[in-house]
Structure formats: structure tokens, C-alpha cells
Structure 1
Amino acid sequence: MQVKIGDIVARKSYQLDLLFRVIDMKITESGEEVAILYGDEVRLIADSLCNDLLVVDEEERNQRKQEEQEKIEQSYYLLRQDYQLLREKQEYYATSSYNHNEEYFHIPGRVLHLDGDPTYLQKCLTLYEKIGVPVTGIHVLEKEMPDKIVDLIDKYRPDILVITGHDAYSKHKGDMNDLNAYRHSKHFVQTVRNARRKVPHLDQLVIFAGACQSHFESLIRVGANFASSPSRVNIHALDPVYIVSKISFTPFVEKINVWDVLRNTLTREKGLGGVDTRGVLRTGMPYRKYENQ
């Protein structure tokens, strides 16, 4: 079957392990047809000879989607469980050990999510809404993020910043310490660097940065609180949401244990890591509900 833009495919040389969307086609100097691929569920960009690709039929896609949905629901369940425990703990403190009945309110951290992939961005926004995280999502190409980040911080004044999209490490371009061997890590690094010039303190603006196989050490070094990918593995499209949701709903007086954040993600410590960070949730009272609200 002829491969064309928009097809969902898998790579024969990788035992059909991942599904990809074909987003572009090109012809090499030797006349071979190459497809540019975006991961369907992982934040990976790749290219492949068309004769190495197999177009995946709808039945196979649906089966894989069902398996993927089960993993997502499990992570969502764990996140909601954590959130419920945090709410009960906050209720205990806000009511002085349940000694008064004054109603209180929560102000979770506001998220600004920049994504190089509009399809993944929409998936993330849907999950943010389901969890209840206040978010502004903007599609920005990875290479344009460094130039746009300061103005976006000024405009939206987020508590949490997500810088993600697609990335990939290529062995033939250099060793793992060479940023030039990565598709977009250098753009993510420069975006974090520019954001930290604007807001230097790690607890005044919490930053998640990176995608599949990104240069984790460089992202942490320039000021990201959490980043991918310590073992240069692929990360799931929704992993950034699970991380920042945990931060958004953790009280600002509490320090977040890194493992407590990673354990709810789909990739865990091989694909994600970070440093101790304070939460950003604030609790207030009294809560007054007006008829015109």
C-alpha cells in the first residue's frame, strides 16, 4: 500500500512497536522516498524510508488505542486519588482540625502550556479540563519558542510553564552530550533559559520542559524544575499534564517529592525527572457564593 500524508503507520525495522502519523514526504538525493513521522501517542519525531513502513488498519489502531486508554485511566485514577488526599488534608488545616465550619476555597496554579504539536496540545487540554487545572494552551513551533516565551509570560503570568512538543536523538549526528544531535532540545533549552531570565526563582515559576529523548541534563541545568528524558527514552503525549497537575494541586507550603510526581506518569523515572519543588495551590476563606455567579 502506498504511504501518503495523514496515514497511521508503524516501522517494520522496529517490530511495529509505535504508531506514527505521516506529516510530510520528501525525496532523497538518491531518489528514495522518505516519510516524516510524528508519534501518535509519544512525543517523538522521526523519518523513515517508505518501504520500511506498514500502514496500520483501523482494527489494529483501535486495539492499541484501547490498551493505551487503560494506561491513561490508571494514571488519571492515581492522580485523582492524590488530589482527594490533598483536599482532605487542606480541609483539616483550613478548619483548625474540623473545629469550625467556615467554607474555604482553593486557587490551583495556572498553567501556560506551549506545544509544538496541535494534536497533542488538544489532547492535553482535554485532560487538563477533566482534572480541573486552569490552563492556557498555545501551539508554537519548537524553533519559535525561544523568541516568543518572554512576551507570553508577560501576557499570561502563569504559575507553571510547560514547554514541549517533539524531539529525537540521532546517534549519527553526535554523542548523547551534544545538543546538536537532538532535533529540538536546543530550542527547549534556549526557551527555558529565556524564561529563567524573566523569572529566575524556581518556585515563582515552575517549568516542565522536553519531549521524547530530550537532553534532560541541559534542561535542568538552565532552570527547568522537571524535564525529559534521563534515559533518552520516549515519553507519552500526556506525561506533562500529570506532572503539572500534581504541582498545581499541591499547597505552596509543601515541598513536592520528585517520586510522588513521577509515579503517576506513564513513563516514570526513565523518561522524566526533576528537582524538589514547592507546590502552588493556595487556600482561602471565607467562601461566598453569589446568586449572579
Structure 2
Amino acid sequence: MKQGDLVTRRSYGGDIIFKIQEVQRQHAVLRGVDYRLLADAPLNDLSAASVDPYSYAYGAEPPWMDTLRKTELHHSMTLPQYPGDESVPVFFDMPGKVLHLDGDPAYLRKCMNLYGELRVPVEGFYVAEANMAEALYRLLPQVKPDIVVITGHDGILKHRRNDEMYTSPLGSYKNSHHFANAVRVARQYEKNRDTLTVIAGACQSHFEALMQAGANYASSPARVLIHALDPLCVAVKVAFTPIKDTVNIVDVIGLTHSGLEGLGGVESRGSFRRGVPKIQKVMHAEAP
């Protein structure tokens, strides 16, 4: 077994496909292929995994992509027209702008492609979870986003019983404390949860700590695994919900792979705006 190999864990019945991030003596550090789970295992517990061609990570789309496409298409097809001239729309669309920090470079690339397809303005950065708080100090004033996604990989340290999952301290989670620190930085930048929507967490993250730090949406209430694209799903839905409306929490989380066990949140306004008149061409002013 070597870095980059796809593997499963025999002790868990081979339920999840991982990629070996690094090998440390006789142990491997593992990152989930379809789930945002960080784990480790002895090399003798690993088996080579065959690639599932229908895995989201290898090209197939999550089922909610069609729903999000219809949401984006709905906005572009329902623009009012100038009186007497049905060929020229009055309004232009401004979906909320996303700043996406991801601890997984492969999933950052996948997310950026999907944001682009759905025409959501976004700036994305690969940042190790431990460095996310520091990165946000610099990036938030530069990007000035409406929505921040703080995600990567997480997990509960081994040897915890099920009844201890909800009482374990934050230090019992691999990266939840890094996510919580990053959320606090975002809230120092903008305290109003309707002005800046924060989506934070990964697999089995400490939901309560992330919400208390100031997140609008976070994982994982039931400490379950979340799909790697679930945070993007929530971000896109917020980006296309009009600012005069609140995001339907149950509807948006119902779209995700993990549902209400994997993601929760508080009532928050959307970030979608319309403007007038219709912009035909963007002109860049010359520097004096």
C-alpha cells in the first residue's frame, strides 16, 4: 500500500472507499473519496478498492443537481420584460457570491466545476483545516462574499462509544476545533447571519460547537458521514434564494445526501438579488 492508493478497511466491512494520504510506519492516514471523513488504519487492515464508475467522485452527479439546475433556470426564464418589447429583459441576476475553503483539493476542483455550471460566482481555495482561520482573516476582506463554505475532512477519534459522541470534548474530533476557529473569524468579520451565511463542517463534525461559533448551517447533528458535495448543495440553494425570503431549512437539507442527520441550521435569508437595467456588456474603466 502506498500514497494515492484507493482502499477500504476490513474492520469496517469495506463500507467506505478511502485514498491513502500518507503512510506513517505501519499506519496510513486516509481521506474519504465520496465522504468528508478523515481516518487512520493499520496497513494490514486495508484492502485495495476497485473504483466505482458511478461514484460521485468519478463523474456521476448527485441526484440534487437537476433540482439546482431547475432553480437556476427558473430565475433566468422568469425575468419581466420591457413594456411593448418582449425581447429585452428588464432585470439581471445576482446570485450570492461564495467563498469556498476546502481541505481536499480534489473536491475543491469538483465543487468549482459545479459552481461554474450553475453560474454561482465563487472563489475557491485549497487550505489545510488547521490554517483556515488564518486564511479567512486575509480572504474575507478581499473577496467580500455573501456565503462562506468551510469544509474539508473530519471524524471522531477512535475508541469512543456511541453514547459518548455527543458528550465528547471538541478535542476528540480531528478537525472540528479548526472549523470552529474559522467560523469565529467569519463572525468577527460580519456578525449578522443574514449578511454573511456560514456553512461549516465535514463528516461527524461537532455540530453544536460549530453552531455556537456562529455558523448558519453545520454538520453533523447525528455525527454521521456527509457526502463531499453536501456543503455545496446548501451554498447554491442559499445563493439562489431571494434576499427577501428565508431559506427553507427542511427543503434545502432534504436535498443533501445525508439529510437532517448530517446537516442542520438556523433560519437565514437568501442572497439572490435582481438589478436593473439589463446589463448588456461590462465595461472596465481605464486606470488614470
Sort the Cα spacing of 1:63 and 1:147 in 2 relative to 1 into closer, same or farther, 3 A.
Answer: closer
The Cα of 1:216 is off from its aligned counterpart by 0.6
Separation in structure 1 between the aligned mates of residue 158 and residue 3 of structure 2, nearest angstrom: 26
Separation in structure 1 between the aligned mates of residue 56 and residue 220 of structure 2, nearest angstrom: 26
The Cα of 1:272 is off from its aligned counterpart by 0.8
Residues 1:35 and 2:28 are matched in the alignment: yes
Which residue is equivalent to 1:51? 44
Residues 1:61 and 2:59 are matched in the alignment: no
Which residue is equivalent to 1:236? 227
Match of 1:107, as an amino acid?
Answer: M
Residue pair 2:53, 2:59 contacting (<8 A) in 1 also:
no
Residues 1:106 and 2:86 are matched in the alignment: no
Residues 1:83 and 2:76 are matched in the alignment: no
Which residue is equivalent to 2:2? 4
Separation in structure 1 between the aligned mates of residue 282 and residue 144 of structure 2, nearest angstrom: 30
Sort the Cα spacing of 1:99 and 1:277 in 2 relative to 1 into closer, same or farther, 3 A.
Answer: farther
Which residue is equivalent to 1:125? 112
Residue pair 1:146, 1:190 contacting (<8 A) in 2 also:
yes
TM alignment of 1:171-182, pairs within 5 A: 171-172=158-159, 175-176=164-165, 177=167, 178-182=169-173
CA deviation map 1:222-256 (0-9, x unaligned):
11001111111111111111110001111101111
Residues 1:264 and 2:264 are matched in the alignment: no
Residue pair 1:79, 1:264 contacting (<8 A) in 2 also:
no
Residues 1:280 and 2:278 are matched in the alignment: no
Instruction: Considering fraction of residues, name the structure with more helix.
Output: 1
Sort the Cα spacing of 1:283 and 1:99 in 2 relative to 1 into closer, same or farther, 3 A.
Answer: farther
| 3-state DSSP of counterpart to 1:277 | coil
Sort the Cα spacing of 1:68 and 1:291 in 2 relative to 1 into closer, same or farther, 3 A.
Answer: closer
Residue pair 1:20, 1:39 contacting (<8 A) in 2 also:
yes
Match of 1:113, as an amino acid?
Answer: H
Residue pair 1:86, 1:250 contacting (<8 A) in 2 also:
no
| 3-state DSSP of counterpart to 2:159 | helix
| 3-state DSSP of counterpart to 1:172 | coil
Query: Which one of the candidate residues 147, 164, 185 is aligned to 2:151?
Result: 164
Sort the Cα spacing of 1:87 and 1:66 in 2 relative to 1 into closer, same or farther, 3 A.
Answer: closer
The Cα of 1:146 is off from its aligned counterpart by 1.5
Which residue is equivalent to 1:21? 19
The Cα of 1:16 is off from its aligned counterpart by 1.0
Separation in structure 2 between the aligned mates of residue 19 and residue 7 of structure 1, nearest angstrom: 10
Sort the Cα spacing of 1:223 and 1:95 in 2 relative to 1 into closer, same or farther, 3 A.
Answer: farther
Sort the Cα spacing of 1:143 and 1:19 in 2 relative to 1 into closer, same or farther, 3 A.
Answer: same
Residue pair 2:103, 2:127 contacting (<8 A) in 1 also:
yes
| 3-state DSSP of counterpart to 2:244 | coil
CA deviation map 1:136-193 (0-9, x unaligned):
0011111111222122101111110010111001253694331010000001001101
Query: Which one of the candidate residues 148, 163, 185 is aligned to 2:135?
Result: 148
Residue pair 2:151, 2:202 contacting (<8 A) in 1 also:
yes
The Cα of 1:68 is off from its aligned counterpart by 7.6
Query: Which one of the candidate residues 203, 208, 212 is aligned to 2:203?
Result: 212
Structure 1 residues 172-181 or 234-243, which shifts more? 172-181
| 3-state DSSP of counterpart to 1:150 | helix
TM-score by length of 1: 0.88
Match of 1:248, as an amino acid?
Answer: A
Match of 1:49, as an amino acid?
Answer: P
| 3-state DSSP of counterpart to 2:255 | coil
Residue pair 1:215, 1:232 contacting (<8 A) in 2 also:
yes
TM-score by length of 2: 0.89
Separation in structure 1 between the aligned mates of residue 152 and residue 183 of structure 2, nearest angstrom: 14
Sort the Cα spacing of 1:104 and 1:147 in 2 relative to 1 into closer, same or farther, 3 A.
Answer: same
Match of 2:127, as an amino acid?
Answer: V
Match of 1:25, as an amino acid?
Answer: V
Count of residue correspondences: 278
Query: What 5-or-longer segments of structure 1 have no aligned partner?
Result: 28-32
